[in-house]
Amino acid sequence: MRLYPNAGEDALSYLVRWGVRNGEWNSVRFAANIGVSVDGLRTGRQVGIMESAARLPEGTLAAWSPTTDTRSRTIKIGADVVRMQDWSASARRWCPACFASDRNPTAALGRVEGDGAPWHRAVWNLAALEKCPEHGTALRSCCPSCGSAQDWDHAPLDTCACGARLQSEKFSVGDADRLSTFVANRVRGATANGSWLLDGLPLGRCLPLLERLGLSELGKPGARWASVRASGAARCTARGYEIASSWPRRFIEVLDGIVAARGAEAMSHGGMTLTYGWVHEHWINPMPSDDAGRMLKAALLDHATAHGIVSEHEMLLGREASTSSLTLSQAASELGMGHARARRLLVRREALPAGRRRSVGMTIDRREVERLRQERARRIDARTARGRLGLGKIPFRGLVELGLLVPADDGHGNERFEGSDVERLLERIRGSAPITDTVAEGCMALPDASRKFGVSIAELVRRIATSELCVHGSVHGGGALSAVFVQASDLIGPACDGKNVLTLQEASAKLWIHPEAVLHVARAGLLAGSREGRAWSFSAVAVDAFDAAHVSNSRIAASVAASPRSTIARLAGMGIRPVVGPPTCRQAIFARSASEQALGIACGPQKLSMQLSNDGCGSSRRVR
């Protein structure tokens, strides 16, 4: 049977009434019979299907049913757009006076279909609506008898599942509050509201703007963050509408109250954020420059200027800087950094002289900002610098600690280096030494020399830089420090002999394990060590004990004249797995007794070390 919708009725309300007209009181079952669902109508996805099933003109129900845009988290309802949080159709609200009017036979005669059935007004789903815009009656959300919330699963709409009539409770009819009338009129297409501030704004922007306006008066004055509980949002929105209705007088009074509450301390130190808190920093300042944004920014800036908080020449909140200058905020954006960091850099360059009020609106010479940007473009981070030098983290950190590389002072925690400084250090170390295809006889590359003699690469580089050690050449095709080689006879023998406490490099040389692998076994608890700052130290007794119990893959591979990779495969075939190894540790380390027994060798640590040393100090083998 055909049924005409009421003006302002959404698809869910029509579904319930249409089901009753066809003798079906269960709305969920009736929705399934016509090929829709309650959830589909609640989000607006299946409204067109129901219009077709009811033989209604296209758009008849869609005009008052929500159209959800999940990407922008907005809902179009009637003639306006609201945020998702401002709309709710999961639980119904109603006006008892409206339901009583629907049941009135005299009133029912004025409707097209004249069925006298109660129907749901779409505007009741707006969270900002506290009272019915027709009768001024407070909207209800629970049954007066059993106290349960009402859903869309049964009919009629004015009757609870317990049998109680929802309009049977006592209610008073009066004038609707101004906010409810404003919201209802906006949804119905009336844009004029008597407030210049809200003209032309959709409800999706009006409601959060009104909430912030009310919170500026009801919240904590000058707080850095706006905080409002869900239960207080309606109160803030209503107060905000009162402020907007008397624009700008009431807003100026609110700002006066904020300044008075902050006291003389904020006035003496100045600054927009210190004085106005979140009202400036997190609300008005980031607002778009539409009509409402310009009006709020102008009111706040005029108030701050009148109270001496900022200069009338300061470029902020819409005031434009000249073409030859930038504000601190614009300079920070061009430099790709925050305001505080940009301020520190510009103060060091005296682009913002000390003792001057340096807010984000102060003007800066554009040429100075461009020079600073070009300087920063020439700087590289630590990772890039390590790549150019061919060093790992530990030796690179040693270069910085020895002063061979000085981080650029850019006012930030992450170290950056002048690319030219890195290149100069590389050229300084390589010098005019000849370039060869292989490491010369009797020479060792810096990484090999560091491991063999227990001296850090950074210390070797320092000796070369101070002419204590001569460079005998570099390998062709290697542009990094790892390609530089020195004469082995120029280096003193292992520095760990006869010492009770060994450094990281000395322990690495004695164990023939890479320094990073030494740190891994120390952190794993296999090797006792201590750390002071970034420096590690190990007792000689602990190193000897570890050497007696463990052996690296490269050492045991050398004893059987095989490659390290084939040795790992051979031991794996015998069921012997490394104690630690890749990918957590860069080297494979085995239990000495098990691996030597499996391979049929019986050389202890000292004998094995002597065998490796006799391979020749000119060997360029790298420990894997």
Judged on CB neighbours under 10 Å (0-12, 13-18, 19+), 403 is exposed
Task: Tell me the CB-side half-sphere exposure of residue 401, using CA atoms within 13 A.
Answer: 13
Q: What is the mean pLDDT of residues 346-371?
A: 68
Q: Which of 377, 397, 413 represents a domain boundary (last residue)?
A: 377
Taking each helix axis from N to C terminus, what angle separates 249-269 and 203-218, rounded to the nearest 10 degrees? Answer: 50
Among 39, 19, 18, 21, which Cα is nearest to 29's?
Answer: 19
In whole angstroms, give the CA distance from residue 365 to residue 368. 5
Q: For residue 154, which phi and psi values (nearest 5 degrees)? A: -145, 165
pLDDT of residue 547 exceeding 70, the answer is yes
| Tens digits of residue pLDDT in 235-252 | 888 899 999 988 889 999
CB 118 within 8 A of CB 103: yes
- In this prediction, what percent of the chain has a pLDDT beyond 70? 83
Specify the range with the lowest mean pLDDT, choosing from 63-77, 177-191, 200-214, 520-534: 177-191
The reply to whether 458 and 513 lie within a common domain is no
Between these two residues, 172 and 602, which has the higher pLDDT value?
Answer: 172
CB 588 within 8 A of CB 512: no
In whole angstroms, give the CA distance from residue 353 to residue 357. 9
Q: Which of 335, 356, 377 represents a domain boundary (last residue)?
A: 377
The reply to whether 281 and 295 lie within a common domain is yes
The band of 129, judged by pLDDT with boundaries at 50, 70 and 90, is confident
| Tens digits of residue pLDDT in 535-544 | 788 988 898 8
| Tens digits of residue pLDDT in 402-460 | 888 888 765 455 678 888 888 888 888 887 678 887 888 888 888 888 877 778 888 88
Q: What is the pLDDT of residue 477?
A: 63
| Tens digits of residue pLDDT in 139-193 | 888 988 888 888 888 888 888 888 888 876 677 777 777 888 888 888 887 765 5
Q: What is the mean pLDDT of residues 213-228?
A: 78
Within a domain: residue 365? Answer: yes
Taking each helix axis from N to C terminus, what angle separates 504-511 and 540-549, rounded to the nearest 10 degrees? Answer: 30
The reply to whether 430 and 509 lie within a common domain is no
Instruction: Give the ranges where 502-563 is alpha helix by DSSP (H).
Output: 504-511, 515-523, 540-549, 553-559
Q: What is the pLDDT of residue 254?
A: 92
| Tens digits of residue pLDDT in 460-476 | 888 888 888 888 888 87
The reply to whether 488 and 518 lie within a common domain is no
The reply to whether 557 and 607 lie within a common domain is yes
The reply to whether 519 and 595 lie within a common domain is yes
Give the bridge partners for 364, in sequence order: 326
The reply to whether 548 and 581 lie within a common domain is yes
Q: What is the pLDDT of residue 355?
A: 42
In whole angstroms, give the CA distance from residue 429 to residue 479. 11
Q: What is the pLDDT of residue 49?
A: 92
Q: What is the mean pLDDT of residues 469-498?
A: 74
The reply to whether 407 and 464 lie within a common domain is yes
The band of 36, judged by pLDDT with boundaries at 50, 70 and 90, is very high
Taking each helix axis from N to C terminus, what angle separates 592-599 and 564-573, rounded to the nearest 10 degrees? Answer: 90
Rg of the Cα atoms in the chain? 40
Domain tally for the chain?
Answer: 4
**15 contact partners, CB below 8 Å, separation of at least 6:** 27, 30, 31, 36, 38, 41, 50, 152
Within a domain: residue 135? Answer: no
Between these two residues, 359 and 366, which has the higher pLDDT value?
Answer: 366
In whole angstroms, give the CA distance from residue 96 to residue 424. 85
The reply to whether 396 and 370 lie within a common domain is no
**148 contact partners, CB below 8 Å, separation of at least 6:** 142, 160, 161, 162
Q: What is the mean pLDDT of residues 22-50?
A: 89
pLDDT of residue 624 exceeding 50, the answer is no
Q: What is the pLDDT of residue 352?
A: 67
The reply to whether 502 and 622 lie within a common domain is yes
Q: For residue 321, which phi and psi values (nearest 5 degrees)? A: -85, 160
Within a domain: residue 130? Answer: no
Among 608, 507, 510, which Cα is nearest to 555's?
Answer: 608
Q: Which of 493, 524, 549 represents a domain boundary (last residue)?
A: 493
The structure tokens listed for 61 are 């129900």
Between these two residues, 268 and 615, which has the higher pLDDT value?
Answer: 268
Q: What is the pLDDT of residue 266?
A: 55
Q: What is the mean pLDDT of residues 305-317?
A: 68
The reply to whether 479 and 545 lie within a common domain is no
Task: Tell me the CB-side half-sphere exposure of residue 45, using CA atoms within 13 A.
Answer: 9
Within a domain: residue 102? Answer: no
- For residue 211, the surrounding DSSP H or E stretch is helix 203-218
Q: What is the mean pLDDT of the chain?
A: 80
Q: What is the mean pLDDT of residues 74-98?
A: 85
Q: What is the pLDDT of residue 374?
A: 81
Q: What is the pLDDT of residue 622?
A: 36
Within a domain: residue 64? Answer: no
Q: What is the pLDDT of residue 609?
A: 47
- For residue 252, the surrounding DSSP H or E stretch is helix 249-269
In whole angstroms, give the CA distance from residue 42 to residue 39. 5
Q: What is the pLDDT of residue 35?
A: 92
Within a domain: residue 107? Answer: no
Within a domain: residue 63? Answer: no
pLDDT of residue 109 exceeding 50, the answer is no
Between these two residues, 355 and 455, which has the higher pLDDT value?
Answer: 455
Within a domain: residue 441? Answer: yes
Prior bond of 395 cis (ω within 30°):
no
Q: What is the pLDDT of residue 319?
A: 59
pLDDT of residue 322 exceeding 70, the answer is no
Specify the range with the lowest mean pLDDT, choosing from 24-28, 264-268, 339-343: 264-268
Between these two residues, 223 and 94, which has the higher pLDDT value?
Answer: 94
The reply to whether 265 and 330 lie within a common domain is no
The band of 620, judged by pLDDT with boundaries at 50, 70 and 90, is very low
Task: Tell me the CB-side half-sphere exposure of residue 369, using CA atoms within 13 A.
Answer: 21
Judged on CB neighbours under 10 Å (0-12, 13-18, 19+), 306 is exposed
Quote the domain boundaries for residue 281. 203-306
